[in-house]
Structure 1
Amino acid sequence: MNEPIALVFEDRSYSRTRLDALARGLAATLRERGVRRGDRVALMSGNRPEFVVAVRAIWQLGASVVLISPAWKRAETEHALILTQPAAAVGDQPVLAELMPMLSLDEPIVPVVCPDTAPDPDAEAVLVFSSGTTGMPKAVRHTHASFAAAVEHWRVALELTAADRIQVLTPPSHILGLLNIETALAVGARIRLHRRFELERMLKSIAEDRITVEMAVAPIALAMAQHPDLESYDLSSLRYIMWGATPVTAGIAETVTRRTGVEWVPAYGASELPVIACNPIEGARLDSVGKAVPGVEIRVIDLDTGEPLPPNGIGEIQLRSPSLMSGYLPEAANAEAFDDGWYRTGDVGSVDAEGWIRLTDRSKEMIKVKGFQVAPAEIEGVLLGHPGVVDAAVFGVPDGADGEAIVAAVAASAVAPPTEEQLRTLVADRLAGYKRLRRVLFVPEIPRLPSGKVLRRVLKEQYGRSTDQ
C-alpha cells in the first residue's frame, strides 16, 4: 500500500517518510558544517519543500531555527542576525549569503534513513519576528513545548484531520505559515505549497486538489471578493475559509460567501501566542474572532487604571497559555511584555459574559480625540462600506485643540471614486461626532504587511503632518 502524500509543490509530491529522510540528510550536512545542539540556524527561504525539510533538519540537531522573511532587504536581515547571533545559515536568498556563509537549498539533499531524535521540550525551537508595525522587529522565542501546544490548539480549533487538504500561499517564515504546515503534518493532512500567492492558481488548486480548508489573510479575502469570475470556480470541496491576522471586514467576507456559498471562520493569534481564539466551525460569527481556545486564559485590563474589567468592558487583552512565547530578543523588550505573568497583547477589545471576543484595535494605534479613545478599525469599516472605496486606513495626527485629529487614507475605485465630502458625510452619519474625519487623503494604495496589517507608521511618516501646521 502506497504511503499517503504529505506535501505537493508544483509537479513534485512528498510522503512524510521522504520528508523525514531528507531532513535527516540535511541535518547530517549541517552537522558536518559544525552545527551543534543549542545553536541557532538562520533560515531565509522562499516557499519550497526544502523550507520544510530545513526546519525539521535543524530540529533534528537540537538546534533552533531563526526564520527570516525572504522579502527582507539587507538592513532588516542584518538586524535579525545581530539580534539572534546564529551559528550557521541555510536558504536560497543572496542577501543572507552576503552576510554569512550559507548552505544553499538549491544543492541536492541526500536522504538518510535513521531514527529520529526527540527534541527537549524546554529547548528553544524557533525564533520568528514580530510584525514591526512600529519599528524594527523583535525576535519572538518559542520552545518545542510552547510551539507543540500551539499546534495542538490549532488542530482542535480547526477540527483538522488526516482527511483534510490545505494550501499554503503566504510565506512560511511567518508564524501562521509554519503553524499551518506543522499542524497539517502532525495530523496527516495533505499540503499544497505554492511558490507565491496567485489568486487564479489558488482558486484552480481548490478544485484540482479538492482543498477542504482555505487559509486567508485580508489581501486574499479582498482579492476573492473583487474577482469578476469568482462564481466560475468549483469551491465545493471547502469546509470553510479561515480569516486570520486582521479583524474581519464583514462586507468583504459576506460578498465572498454570497458568491460562493462558503462560510468564514475568523480566528485570532499572534507571533507571541499563535492560537488565541477561534470561532466554532459551525455557527461562526463575523463580528467576533471567536472564543479563547481551550488552554488559553484571557482577561481584559482597563487602559487607564490597569485593573481587570468585567464582561463587555473595553481594554487591553491579556493572556496566559502553555503556548506563550518564552520571551523576546532583545531581552529589554520583555519588561513591557508581561503584567504579573500575563502577556500584554497591545490589542484593545472586550470579552462578553459568554466568552465571545471582539477586537477594537491596537492600543498604540488608538486615536485620542478630546479624551475619547477612537479605534481606527471602526472608521475603516464604515469607509470600506462605500462602493467607491477599494481600501482604507485611518490614523491620528497631532492637533492642538483636540489632542489628535482623524485622518483617512483612501484607495479609491477608478470607476466611481467618492469625493472627500461624501466620505466625511458617510462617517458623520454613522458614527459619533468626535469620530469625524478631519482630512481625507486619496492614495494609490494602502501600505500593508503580507499578513494584511496596515503599516500606519508608514502613512504617518508620509502624510502625518500636524493640523496645527
Structure 2
Amino acid sequence: MRDVSEPMALAFGERQYSLADLDAQAEAMAAALRLRGVGPSSRVAVMSSNRPEFVVALRAIWRLGSAAVLLSPAWKPAEVGHALSLTRPAYAVGDHAVLAAAMPMLHVDEPIPPASCAAEAVDPGADAVLVFSSGTTGMPKAVRHTHASLAAAIRHWRGALQLTSADRLQVMTPPSHILGLLNIATALDTGAWIRLHPRFDIETMLRHIEADRITVDMAVAPIALALSAHPGLEAHDLSSLRYLMWCATPVTSSVAHAVTERTGVAWVTAYGASELPVISCNDLPSARLDTVGRAVDGVRVRVVDTETGTPLSIGADGEIQVRSEATMAGYLPESATAEAFSEGWYRTGDIGSLDADGHLRITDRAREMIKVRGFQVAPAEIEAVLHGHPAVEDCAVFGVPAPDGEAIIAAVTVGAAVEPDALIAVVADRLASYKRPSRVVIVDEIPRLPSGKVLRRVLRERALSGCAESGGIRGRSSDQ
C-alpha cells in the first residue's frame, strides 16, 4: 500500500508515481526479464513511446546490470532491422509492433505480477545505454554510454540547468533521443517532479505549464516555433517558468525574442551531442543567445585547425573538440570509433570559435548531417533508398534552412520518367517520417569533386537561389 505522504516523482495523464512505485514495478519487470535469461552484460532492445513504462523498463534493465538499446518509435522495419543487426540484443521490451515482429518482445502493457529481484552489482565501465547517431556515410551508428559516462552527463546537465528537487519539468521529446533520455534521467536522479507526454501538442504543453506550475521546459525548434505562432499565448500563465531551454538546433533569434516579448520568459541555450550529451550551456539567468554558452564544469573545449589539428587562438574558426568523463565509450561498429577522436579529444565535426570569456560560437558543420526538428539525419541513408529506385541514376541529399531547423531536399538524375512524389513515397515507406524529403528536384547532373565527393554546398546554393540554368533545378518538386 502506497504511503500517501510520499512525494510523487512522475506524472502521465491522470496517473502519478512515486519513486517507490517506479522501483517496485521495475523490480517486477526485472524478475520477468531474468526469467527470460537477461543478466549482466545482456543487451535489451527498447522501443517505446514516452510513457512511465519506458522509465520502468530502463530501471529494470539497469537493475540486472544490462544495457538498454534505445530504438526510435518512429522507425520503420528496415531501420529497426539495421539497429538490431548492429547491436545484437538478445531480448526486447516495448510497445511497438515493428519490434515485436523482429524478435520476441515483452510488451510493457502485459500484466506483470509483483516479484522480488535482487539488484546486480553494477560495473561503472559496463554499457548502460546505446543510442543512435547518424553518420554521413551510411546507416546510423550505435553510441555506447557506460554507467559512468551516463552518470557524468546527468551531473553535468543538473548543474547546467541549476536543477533542484523543487523543480518541475515536462518532457515531450522522444525518450530514445539523447535529450529526452537525459531529461528524464536527470529529473528523477535530482528528485525533481516530471510529467511525460506521449507526443508534442502545443495546447497540452501550455495547459500543463500553467496547471502543473512547470519551472523548466525544453523546446526544440518546432516547439519554439509553435510557441511564437500561438495566437493565445498571452492568455496562459507561464509565470512559474524560470526559463525555456532551446536545444538541438541553433537559436532562431526572431522566434526566441517573439516568445520572450509576449510572455516575459527568457531563453537559455545549450550544446551537446549523442556522443557527449552536455558540452556547454549559457549562464543563468543572463543567457547570450548568440552563443551556445561556456563549457560546463567537467568539460574541456578546444578549437583546432581542420587540416593540421593544431589548437587555434581565441576567435579563430576551426573544428570544435571536447574532452569529458561523459564522453561515449565508442561506436558500434567499433571500426568507426577511432576517427571520432583525436588524441583523446572527441571530434564534434562542428566548426566554431571561442571568445576571450570562453563563450562558444558554432558557425558551420564540417559533417553533413541535416538537423530536422532536432533529429540528425544522414544524407547517405536517404540516398541509399533513392538509389534503389530503377529510375534514379544518381542522387544527393542536402538540407536548407527552415523555420524548425532544416528541410531535406533530394537532387536526382534520372534515366526514366518518374514523379517526385513517387520518390518521396519510396523514402517515406522505408524510413522514419522526419527523414522524408520536403522536395525532390530533377537535375542534369550531381556536382562532384574528382574524388567523387558530392558538392552539397553547390546544390544547396542552387536550391536557395532558384537556379534554373544547366545543371540547376528543372522539372517540378513536391513539397511536404
Tell me the TM-score normalized by structure 1.
Answer: 0.81
| 177, 195, 202: which one aligns with 2:205 | 202
Q: Which residue of 2 aligns with 1:462?
A: none
Aligned to 1:88: 91
Match of 2:343? 340
Residue 121 (structure 1) aligned with residue 124 (structure 2)? yes
1:233-284, Cα deviation, whole Å (9 max, x unpaired): 1111100000111111111111111111110010001000000000112110
- The one-character-per-residue Cα deviations of 1:89-120 (angstroms, maximum 9, x if unpaired) are 01111111111110111112334466654522
Match of residue 256 from structure 1: 259
Pick from 191, 200, 219: which aligns with 1:188? 191
Which 10-residue stretch deviates more, 53-62 or 356-365?
356-365
Q: Which moved more, 1:235-244 or 1:225-234?
A: 225-234
Residue of structure 1 aligned with 2:327, choices 310, 324, 329: 324
Structure 2 length as normaliser, TM-score? 0.79
Instruction: Indicate the SS of the match to 1:5.
Output: coil
Deviation of 1:439 after TM superposition, in Å, equals 7.5
Indicate if the aligned counterparts of 1:309 and 1:315 stay in contact, CA closer than 8 A: yes
Distance in 2 (alpha carbons) for counterparts of 1:18 and 1:25: 11
From 56, 66, 77, the equivalent of 1:53 is: 56
By how many angstroms is 1:399 displaced? 7.7
* Structure 2 equivalent of residue 37 of structure 1: 40
Kindly report the root-mean-square deviation, in angstroms, between the aligned alpha carbons of the 2 structures: 2.9
Task: Report the more deviating stretch, 227-236 or 183-192.
Answer: 227-236
**Does residue 1:238 correspond to 2:241, yes or no?**
yes
| Correspondence for 2:300 | 297
Structure 1 residue 304 displacement after superposition = 2.4
Going from structure 1 to structure 2, the CA distance change for 1:87 and 1:365 (only over 3 Å counts) comes to closer
Match of 1:166 among 169, 180, 184: 169
Instruction: String of CA shifts for 1:181-219, please: whole Å, max 9, x gaps.
Output: 111011110010001111110111100111000011111
Distance (whole Å) between structure 2 residues aligned to residue 406 and residue 114 of structure 1 = 57
Between 44-53 and 128-137, report the one with greater CA deviation. Answer: 128-137
Does the alignment pair 1:398 with 2:452? no
- Structure 2 partner of 1:449: none
Contact 2:64/2:119 (CA < 8 Å) preserved in 1? no
Q: Which residue of 1 aligns with 2:426?
A: none
Distance 1:44 1:391, change over 3 A: closer
2:428 match: none
**What is residue 107 of structure 1 aligned with on the other side?**
110
Contact 1:392/1:408 (8 A) holds in 2? no
Alignment correspondent of 1:407 = 460
Partner of 2:150: 147
Q: Is the 8 A contact 1:240 1:263 kept in 2?
A: yes
Q: Using a 3 Å threshold, how does the CA distance of structure 1 residues 63 and 361 change in structure 2: closer, same or farther?
A: same
Q: Does 1:311 align with 2:314?
A: yes
Q: Unpaired segments of 5 or more residues in structure 1? A: 367-375, 411-419, 425-437, 446-469
Distance in 1 (CA, whole Å) between partners of 2:205 and 2:231 is 15
Counterpart residue type for residue 354 of structure 2: V
Structure 1 position 10 matched with structure 2 position 13: yes
The secondary structure found in structure 1 opposite 2:9 is strand
Instruction: Please name the residue that 1:277 is paired with.
Output: 280
Letter in 2 for 1:405: V
Q: Which residue of 1 aligns with 2:356?
A: 353
Number of aligned pairs?
A: 407
Alpha-carbon distance change, 439 to 255 in structure 1, aligned in 2, over 3 angstroms: farther
* Unmatched 5+ stretches in structure 2: 370-397, 412-445, 450-454
Answer yes or no: is the 8 Å Cα contact 1:301–1:316 preserved in 2: yes
- Partner Cα distance (2:292, 2:410) in 1: 23
Deviations 1:312-344 (A, max 9, x none): 111111111000000000011012111111111
Task: Tell me whether 127-136 or 228-237 shows the greater mean CA deviation.
Answer: 127-136
Which residue does 1:75 correspond to in 2? 78
What is the match of residue 424 of structure 2? none
Output the CA distance in 2 between the equivalents of 1:236 and 1:408: 43
- Residue aligning to 2:226: 223
